[in-house]
């Protein structure tokens, strides 16, 4: 009997790609100053009191985004040099390179580059500590 389920590598890679593709927006949000918050606008019309504090929500959201940015950079820096280079050039640069450009720079064929890139995503999933990107294969076991 297996104690730990096997990682579904394809789904794990997809989870990391989805996160990193959406991460560019978080990087921009984290770069905005907390002091740039606007005061509430009064229009003179009566309204029901709101239980939401939008300024607090924005501060928490930006702090969370900044923490995600820091953790993403830390996790990428934990990888081997080629994996680090691939993920940095794809996701951390303002003008990311294309896959074929990165493959050419590091001197790998498209097939070998895809293998290394997928391994980089899997290692990133293991190194990132704020969220678990790993997906596991489901196995049905029957009790003997």
Of the listed ranges 34-38, 62-66, 81-85, the least confidently predicted one is 34-38
Is pLDDT at 3 greater than 50 in this prediction? Answer: yes
pTM > 0.85: yes or no = no
Question: What is the structure's pLDDT at 32?
Answer: 43
Strand segments (E) across the chain: none
Alpha helices in 47-109 (DSSP H): 54-77, 81-87, 99-106
The model's pLDDT over 80-124, given as tens digits with 9 standing for 90+, comes to: 999 999 998 898 877 888 999 999 999 999 999 999 999 999 999
Tokens of 114: 């895809």
Contact between 102 and 90 under an 8 Å Cβ cutoff? The reply is yes
Residue 19: C-alpha distances to residues 60, 61, 138 (Å): 19, 16, 23
């Amino acid at each position: 009997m297996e104690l730990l389920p096997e990682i579904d590598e394809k789904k794990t890679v997809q989870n990391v790609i989805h996160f990193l593709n959406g991460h560019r927006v978080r990087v921009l949000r984290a770069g905005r100053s907390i002091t740039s918050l606007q005061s509430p606008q009064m229009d003179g019309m009566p309204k029901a009191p709101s239980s939401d504090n939008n300024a607090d929500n924005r501060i928490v959201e930006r702090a969370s985004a900044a923490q995600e940015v820091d953790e993403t950079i830390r996790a990428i820096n934990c990888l081997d040099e080629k994996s680090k280079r691939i993920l940095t050039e794809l996701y951390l640069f303002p003008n990311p390179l294309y896959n074929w450009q990165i493959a050419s720079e590091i001197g790998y064929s498209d097939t070998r580059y895809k293998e290394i890139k997928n391994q980089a995503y899997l290692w990133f999933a293991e190194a990132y500590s704020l969220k678990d990107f790993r997906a596991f294969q489901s196995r049905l076991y029957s009790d003997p």
